[in-house]
Amino acid sequence: MRIELRDIRKYFGPVKANDGINLVLEGGRIYGLLGENGAGKSTLMKILSGYQPPDTGEILFDDQIQHFSSPADALGKGIGMLYQDPLDVPAFSVNDNYLLGRDQRIVLDYKNASHELQEMTARFGFELDLQSRIENLSLGERQQLELARLLVGGAQVLILDEPTTGISAEQKEVLFGSMRKLAREEGKTLILVSHKLDEVQELCDEALVLQRGKLVGQTDIPCPNEKLVKMMFGQVPERSARPDFDLGEVVLELIDLRVPTYRLTIKDINLTIRQGEIFGFAGLEGSGQRLVLQACAGLLQPDHGKILLDGQDVSSWPYHRMQNAGVGYVADGRLEEGLVAGLTIEEHVELAKPKHSFFINRKVLFAITETKIEQFQIVGRPDSTADELSGGNQQRLLFALLRDNQKSILLENPTRGLDVRSSNWIWDQLNHRREGGTAILFMSSDLDEIFERSDRIAVFSGGNMSRVLETVNTSVEEIGHLIGGQA
């Protein structure tokens, strides 16, 4: 299938997400779509996949103009997209979500669906509990389910937005092998939206670079990374380093902690976190590190052991009480857990206030919101809704909503899907917090980020936590072995 995009334009108020993009995509090739956060990549792919219409412009398949009314309509015509935040229903089971949009009958064929899904997940090396509800799955597992559904649905053009987040190196190798087979042997067109240049170099035939809504460059792969970075940013950004810092008193202490859940129980967790310390949790998604963060945030209750905040037992405190005590939490699912789709930036700023009055002073709120937009470099307006923002700007908004004088900040994949410049900005903010004595606990699927940013590291595998590693005395290779369960 030959895809042609002609003069695609999409505006959100004064923001030009796509500004006259012309592009031709041939079958049998893998394209890497690059650009800094807010460059228009996700918007362009949402238009191509039927999620939203362009304001102007045309989409042609083999010289035939196409119009999509929905992602299901686009998939029926051969276009499928794996979104960075998967489209699913949390209260439904894996099987229910798999059948969603595929089986229109009153009595659904669960037996055949289970057979199809088992075959597809086995092909990619995924492991999914078909009876589990989506809300019990990690983000990586939800991505795996959506990818399987798209392929069985007959996608001829497959768009993957940051698909390797939360999957193991072995799963990535299988995924990339399957993508090559789909392109080389079956003639499908694949588009990889990614900020990981090494993945683009490894997998893609050609790179397409967007900047401020315009297509600014195309180049064959392989090519020097510096060339791609210069096309994305105009210059090569310097990577900020982890500064040295003298740690203060103990802020957070976990003693013999055990947290039981439906799928996994973590136990025997003993940690001491000090003021100004950056502590990294490594491991495959679903290995237990998220449960520890959620317990420390008051979102899960341990059934054994203690959580001490400044020496006080807070094991049974709920989330809002922990928040008022100085514990901030930034969830992985930006729209599902951190923000509210449909609410504006201004409304989020109001909701995040520690105290509320019966009446809202709109003039004061507008001024505070504008200050936060400028301070945190959010590309948007006070009346922009959270779902209108790019992934990077949603992340900036989450940081803008954190309160001042936090004792501890807990983060899940703080730079997931962010470009180099945005990632550096996030860590500049966190390093500034640590200078004020805030303890930082974070989990990440990026081993290099864990290694470069952490003072100490704990590795999780199957609900078990390894010994605590001093970053200066370990290596990425050792962390990788521990993730695989090797002592």
Residues of the chain with pLDDT under 50: none
- What pLDDT score does 152 carry? 80
- What pLDDT score does 485 carry? 61
Both 223 and 276 in one domain: the answer is no
Both 398 and 286 in one domain: the answer is yes
Residue partners of 116: CB distance under 8 A and separation at least 6? 98, 152
What are the contacts of 353-358 at 24+ separation with CB within 8 A? 354/324, 354/403
Domains: count for the chain: 2
Instruction: Please tell me the distance from the alpha carbon of residue 455 to that of residue 253, in angstroms, as a whole number.
Output: 16
Name residue 172's beta-bridge partners: none
Q: What angle, 0 to 180 degrees and rounded to 10, lies between the N-to-C axes of helices 391-400 and 362-375?
A: 120
Both 197 and 311 in one domain: the answer is no
Both 300 and 414 in one domain: the answer is yes
Q: Is 285 exposed, middle or buried (0-12, 13-18, 19+ CB in 10 A)?
A: buried
Both 223 and 334 in one domain: the answer is no
Q: Could you count the other beta carbons within 10 Å of the beta carbon of residue 437? A: 19
**C-alpha gyration radius of the chain:** 23
Instruction: Please tell me the distance from the alpha carbon of residue 381 to that of residue 46, in angstroms, as a whole number.
Output: 21
Instruction: Please tell me the distance from the alpha carbon of residue 133 to that of residue 147, in angstroms, as a whole number.
Output: 17
- What pLDDT score does 239 carry? 63
User: What is the pTM (predicted TM-score) of this model?
Assistant: 0.72
- What pLDDT score does 47 carry? 92
- What pLDDT score does 235 carry? 66
Supply the CATH number for residue 472's domain.
Answer: 3.40.50.300
In a domain, 213, yes or no: yes
In a domain, 242, yes or no: no
Distance of CA 409 to the CA centre of its chain: 18
In a domain, 417, yes or no: yes
- What pLDDT score does 24 carry? 93
- The number of helices, as runs of H, and strands, as runs of E, in the chain is 16, 21
Both 183 and 267 in one domain: the answer is no
Its domain, for residue 213, covers 3-233
Lookup: tokens for 415? 């730079």
Both 283 and 204 in one domain: the answer is no
Both 259 and 162 in one domain: the answer is no
Do residues 247 and 232 make contact, with C-beta atoms less than 8 angstroms apart?
A: no
- What pLDDT score does 295 carry? 96
In a domain, 461, yes or no: yes
- What pLDDT score does 365 carry? 93
In a domain, 386, yes or no: yes
- What pLDDT score does 186 carry? 84
Both 200 and 340 in one domain: the answer is no
In a domain, 244, yes or no: no
Q: Could you count the other beta carbons within 10 Å of the beta carbon of residue 249? A: 10
Single out the residue of 245, 240, 284 nearest to residue 455, CA to CA: 245
Both 52 and 149 in one domain: the answer is yes
Do residues 33 and 227 make contact, with C-beta atoms less than 8 angstroms apart?
A: no
Instruction: Please tell me the distance from the alpha carbon of residue 51 to that of residue 68, in angstroms, as a whole number.
Output: 8
Both 270 and 208 in one domain: the answer is no
- What pLDDT score does 484 carry? 65
Single out the residue of 208, 230, 225 nearest to residue 217, CA to CA: 208
Name residue 263's beta-bridge partners: none
Both 110 and 67 in one domain: the answer is yes
- What pLDDT score does 326 carry? 95
Instruction: Please tell me the distance from the alpha carbon of residue 296 to that of residue 262, in angstroms, as a whole number.
Output: 19
Q: How many CA atoms lie within 13 A of 109 on its CB side?
A: 10
Instruction: Please tell me the distance from the alpha carbon of residue 24 to that of residue 185, in angstroms, as a whole number.
Output: 21
In a domain, 35, yes or no: yes
Q: What angle, 0 to 180 degrees and rounded to 10, lies between the N-to-C axes of helices 420-435 and 225-233?
A: 80
In a domain, 376, yes or no: yes
